[in-house]
Amino acid sequence: MTGLDRNSVRRTAVLAGAALIVGLLPLASAGTAAAADPDPVPVDRFEGEVPFASQPAEGLFTWGGDADDPPELTLAERSDAPEGAKVLAGDYDISGYGGFTHDYAADQPGHDWSAHKGIRFWWDGQDNGKKTAFEIKDGGANGEASELWTTSFTDDFSGWKQIEIPFGDFTYRTDYQPVGGIDQVLGLTQMWGYAVTLPVGAPGRFAMDDVELYGKADQSLRASVTTDAAVYPVKEGGTASVKVSVATTGSAPIDEPVTVAYESAGGTAESGKDYTPVKGEITFPAGTESGASRTVRVPTLRDRTGEAAETVPLKLTVTGAKAPAETPQVVIDAHGLPYLDAKLPVKKRVADLLSRMSLAEKAGQMTQAERGAIGAGGDIAAYDLGSLLSGGGSTPTPNTPAAWAKMIDGYQLRAQATRFQIPLIYGVDAVHGHNNLAGATVMPHNIGIGATRDPALAERTGAVTAAEVRATGVPWDFAPCLCVTRDERWGRSYESFGEDPALVESMETVVQGLQGDRSGRDLKDDDRVLATAKHFVGDGGTAYGSSTTGSYTVDQGVTKVGRQELEAVHLAPFQEAVDRGVGTVMPSYSSLDLGDGQGPVKMHARADMINGVLKDRMGFDGFVISDWNAIDQLPGDYAAHVRTSVNAGVDMMMVPYSYKEFSATLIDEAKAGRVTDRRIDDAVARILAQKFRLGLFEKPYADTSGASAIGSTAHRAVARQAAAESQVLLKNAGSVLPLKKSQKVYVAGSNADDIGNQTGGWTITWQGSSGNITPGTTILQGMRKAGGDVTYSKDASASTAGYDVGVVVVGETPYAEGVGDVGNGNDLELTAADKAAVDTVCAAMKCAVLIVSGRPQLIGDRLGDVDALVASWLPGTEGDGVADVLYGRRAFTGQLPVTWPKSESQLPINVGDTSYDPQFPYGWGLTTLTNVPGGGTASLRALALVAAAAERAGAGTVARTAVTKARLLVQQKIGTAVTAASAKPFADADHLLLTGHYADAVAKLTQAYRAG
């Protein structure tokens, strides 16, 4: 007997038994049961009828965050199978995310589930207490381009159990949608299957059987009653208006009446004293159009005494439709209390508010959650949350400025339901423009900004970023990264301004671009944001092979330095940031080993560094925000993680999905005396002070007046200039560059026409991606717009005959953090396809090679065949800027922010090293200016005198100009014949220039000239 036969027998027996029972019931009951319980419709029986496959075919497939995360699936024979002979079984051990999907075939119509009440399946419980997410796929083109609707169940049982999920329990996913949303209505008429997301953090196994649709749909499943908000703030004495609406799936009129009984009841406000009670009923008759609404008004009363906010829940009882997910609350605004007086000094406002807060409210202020974790946002008030963030790629649907503002305003509205209506502070990683937002102006990454050697331009890029970020309702940016990158094998190299702390310090003008005046007085403006200096301290110095995070090799590893090097290299940029008034600081994931016998200690546990150095010695008066789940890397149990990090000086904890656990644990630790009241008050005072400075208490909602400038011509002009100035001309034999518009140009290479590769990681999503991911201009498009006679062949397969010059644009594909570490599936070599393109083009004509990458690429074996070589870094969305220097609209002026190595075995290699023999030294950068000085040693002697005199007189601009002329003169002599003897003094000279030792810089350049 086959599995299906056994299934048929089993089902026949069940139905026969049911029929016998029905026969014993009264006739009316039997008729009702028959109408209400039609036969279920199978989706999956797992007997082999659905293969393991993927789109466009129908099938089961697995997925995960990395190679280890997808579960192993089998169709297993089980004697205890609830249906048939086989079940779907699997093992998993997930660190990121993972699960499996059943998609229907993309070349067939979607399935209609609208006649049913819900979906159910059998699950073999392991009683592990973990939640498993179950989602269904609605509308769109196919299963991978549909809307995702989700719910979950808890595995708190043993053995087989049938899980029933009414369709009404599914909610629209806000943390991820593959297509950015369709209509955000669960239509059920075009369904594409389901997906299961398995628990993370511990190995497990599962078994599943008989997925089927059950029950009969009723109006309450396709009709729902909603209110226009969950929270209705109103000034004391005002009247709140609650709009109650009825809506249906597909917008059809309702076919049965819907009644809504309402009553003001409960809450913290006192009926008759604080508000006039209301009670009544609304009826939407049969035939009412979807979207119809009625208004319930709740009057409040004035008692003229200062008090905290008070709540008036409006209880709604719905018949004939699905009730709102939450009871709407009228909130009588806090009023008459000193902390609400904007005329008082920030310090007094903080002291007053802090004195009124409970321990739970203080713990909430110290807690930051991910937007994707809080659903509709009810937990904001329930846990008094102080902050939310969007991690990389965590965006609203659709990903537009208006949607960002609406989303954040919705969260701020939730905060108004708290006792003191403390606004949220919302943060994003806008590390090179508002890079999560499609259509924003994307700047070059910091490595390119460092190459510009232009502090004023760095400030302007920060100002553009701040304006675009704040216009979407976000007041806080987790930038800039002040890491000093010391090993280009590190996947975060491009987040650094360079390898020299003096260069990093010089670029910290970006802090003023973001925040405005050092005093913080500009933070309340609609074009400024709170900045974050990260990652404190030493993240750029982690040793290769020291990381213990997954497959990372460098990132989150150990920085082993003496105190002198720590101060000079890694701490110096943070002192500069504190002096500039930076509002927040983020500790590093990495560990610090000072050779003092303690061994490596995670930075989130280093009270000596956070409390001792940053806050006490440097005088930092902002607040410290942890990195994403960083406390989970500390030793001990979770309570130890919490008390260790808080006592070390971390003021707010980024605990994206464990905010409830963190808040509860912090409260317990405080009650037990392991975290003092004084420490908590210090943390909360620091957080509140920045919220007051940002003006959030007076204006918590988005000021979108600047939204029209997002991605504007003016903003893109700044990014275009930054892209142009970031281009570093490493070689230019025969003056191949700049190109002439009269030349026929052959363009090839993987990165010539790819905006995703050009913008790199941290663009739209955390890791970034290749392809047309955001509006902008590729390098190829920029060349065409510049008026060039351009032919493009990505792989150089088109004929190379008849061209004057070739431009080959090669380099890396996007990555972020440790995912990009060399040794973690990455190296510093060009791909085989890129090498082939270089070889083909450069063998056929004069050629210029542009390397679009986050770090140097090894090109030495081809350097002799390349006429011109350009380090393009990751120039952002404005490829026009690259075209500007290629065609001579602007001169090449960029300089290397890091040493360009000859081989990977040389790494780490940095300016100041005793042994220093690079391909190109730190500070190298040819120019296409026509006035490159000549005159040899005589000119150098004259420039040395000018530099010395200007240095004595404090004339920095004159002195810097003299050093720059000396550098260009030396480069002109050395050409590509860089030797160790010339490279070391050349690199040292650039460091001396940045530190104001201008005469010494010219002396070093003279030494390099003689060695060259």
Q: Give catalytic residue positions.
A: 627, 817
CA distance 646 to 656: 17
Helices 956-974 and 936-953: crossing angle in degrees, nearest 10, is 160
3-state DSSP assignment of residue 1008: helix
CA distance 349 to 372: 32
Alpha-carbon distances of 245 from 295, 324, 329, 553, rounded to whole Å: 9, 10, 16, 55
The enclosing H or E element of 535 equals strand 532-536
CA distance 593 to 588: 13
3-state DSSP assignment of residue 880: helix
Alpha-carbon distances of 194 from 139, 164, 339, 703, rounded to whole Å: 12, 14, 50, 40
CA distance 543 to 540: 9
Edge-to-edge order in the sheet of strand 171-172: 59-64, 98-103, 191-197, 131-138, 147-154, 171-172
Q: Which residues pair with residue 946 across a beta bridge?
A: none
Q: Which amino acid is at 824?
A: N
The distance from CA 743 to its chain's CA centroid, rounded to whole angstroms, is 43
Enumerate residues 6+ apart whose C-beta is below 8 A from 4.
Answer: 45, 47, 84
524 Rama class: left (phi>0) / alpha (psi -120 to 50) / beta: alpha
In this structure, what DSSP letter does residue 201 have? S
CA distance 194 to 163: 14
Q: Which amino acid is at 569?
A: V
Contact between residue 873 and residue 809 where contact means Cβ atoms under 8 Å apart: no
Cis amide bond preceding 535, omega within 30: yes
- CB environment 41-77: b (16+ within 10 A), e (fewer): eebbbbbeebeeebbeebbbbbebeeeebbbebebee
Q: Is the dihedral of CA 832, 837, 838, 842 positive or negative?
A: positive
CA distance 802 to 1000: 50
CA distance 549 to 347: 41
The enclosing H or E element of 585 equals strand 584-587
Enumerate residues 6+ apart whose C-beta is below 8 A from 964.
Answer: none
The distance from CA 376 to its chain's CA centroid, rounded to whole angstroms, is 20
Alpha-carbon distances of 210 from 40, 162, 168, rounded to whole Å: 11, 9, 21
3-state DSSP assignment of residue 944: helix
CA distance 697 to 337: 13
CA distance 81 to 399: 45
Contact between residue 569 and residue 561 where contact means Cβ atoms under 8 Å apart: yes
> Residue 1005 is encoded by which pair of tokens?
């350049």
Q: Which residues pair with residue 195 across a beta bridge?
A: 101, 135
Task: Please count the helices (runs of H) and the strands (runs of E) in the chain.
Answer: 26, 37
DSSP 342-363: TTS-HHHHHHHHHHH--HHHHH
Alpha-carbon distances of 967 from 96, 292, 909, 932, rounded to whole Å: 49, 74, 21, 10
Max intra-chain CA distance, the chain: 115
